[in-house]
Structure 1
Amino acid sequence: MLHALQVLTTVAVGVMVGVEFSVAFVMKRIFDALPEDSGQLGRAHGGRMLGAVMPVWYITSLVLVAVWAVAGRQHHGTGLVVTAGALLLLSVIMSVLLLVPINDRSKTWTPDNRPADWKEQVNRWDRLHYVRVAVIVAAFAVLVAALV
């Protein structure tokens, strides 16, 4: 049972990392290359779509890591699992305090109603997202290390 939990948790966190990595390093460049207001509209749509899915994914991943830490507390690597959990908790806190407020604003923007500083807000979100990606990549790496 513990092995199944470890695999499920590692896959869930790994796929989440892949999605967030893609947002940071693939989708951003695609949106930035689109003509006129298409990139901003694409970001707004992405913010609505991923803004609905990712909170559940982040919390589920954190819960799975916590269950793994408790269920495997007598096994090798538990300290690494707890470290991964702390990193995922940090990513959730960063998200709620720093990224979600920007996303909540930007997902409603259109070319007609966006604020004058919309590009600065988008750039701030991107910079914070890079940090969050680094944190969840570290969490994933630590989880994988806990397996070996």
Structure 2
Amino acid sequence: MLSTLEVTTVVIVGLMVGVEFSVAFVLNRVIDALPEDSAQQAHAHGGRMLGAVMPVWYVGSLVLVAVWAVAGRDGTGLLVTAAALLVLSVIMSLLLLVPINNRNKTWTPENRPADWRQQLDRWARYHYGRLALIAAAFALLAVARG
């Protein structure tokens, strides 16, 4: 049973890292290459769609790591560190990324602010930091599973 929990946790966190990696290095670049109105609308749609899914994924991942740490006997230090990194990523999301995303997902070409691109660039910079945290957590989980 513990083995199933470990594998499930590593896979779910790994998929989350993959999605966030693709947002950072693929999707945002594709969207930014679109004409201005289309790019802004695509960012808003992505913000609505992923903004609904990712909170559940982040918190669910953290819960899985916590359950693994409580149920497991080996690698607890790695698991606690991974959990701390995931907690930090959630805090970072709530304080830095979510406020920008909440504004972004309501913008249209008619009501977007003049600095909309700068705000999305700031979101992207914060996203790189969050991605580094969850990727490090994933690596620790993979080693703990080892």
Mark yes or no: TM-score above 0.5.
yes
SS of alignment partner, residue 111 of structure 2 = coil
The TM-score, its normalising length taken from structure 2, stands at 0.98
Tell me the equivalent position of 2:82. 84
The residue identity in structure 1 corresponding to 2:132 is: A
The residue identity in structure 2 corresponding to 1:118 is: W
Tell me the equivalent position of 2:7. 7
Q: Given the alignment of the two structures, is residue 40 of structure 1 paired with residue 46 of structure 2, yes or no?
A: no
CA distance in 1, matches of 2:98, 2:4: 32
CA distance in 1, matches of 2:36, 2:29: 14
Q: Report deviation, 1:120.
A: 1.1
- RMSD after superposition: 0.7
Tell me the equivalent position of 1:140. 138
Q: Report deviation, 1:77.
A: 1.0
Q: Report deviation, 1:140.
A: 0.2
Tell me the equivalent position of 2:109. 111
- Structure 2: stretches of 5+ with no match in the other structure: none
Q: Report deviation, 1:119.
A: 1.2
Q: Report deviation, 1:36.
A: 3.0
The TM-score, its normalising length taken from structure 1, stands at 0.97
Q: Report deviation, 1:65.
A: 0.2
CA distance in 2, matches of 1:111, 1:141: 40
Runs of 4+ aligned structure 1 residues displaced above 6 Å come to none
Q: Given the alignment of the two structures, is residue 20 of structure 1 paired with residue 20 of structure 2, yes or no?
A: yes
Per-residue CA distance 1:62-120 (angstroms, 9 max, x = gap) = 00000000000xx2211101110000000000000110000000001011000111111
2:97 to 99, 117, 121: 99
The residue identity in structure 1 corresponding to 2:90 is: V
Does the Cα contact within 8 Å between 2:58 and 2:86 map onto a contact in 1?
A: yes
How many residue pairs are counted as aligned between the two chains?
146
- Structure 1: stretches of 5+ with no match in the other structure: none
CA distance in 2, matches of 1:71, 1:135: 24
SS of alignment partner, residue 55 of structure 2 = helix
Identical-pair percentage: 72
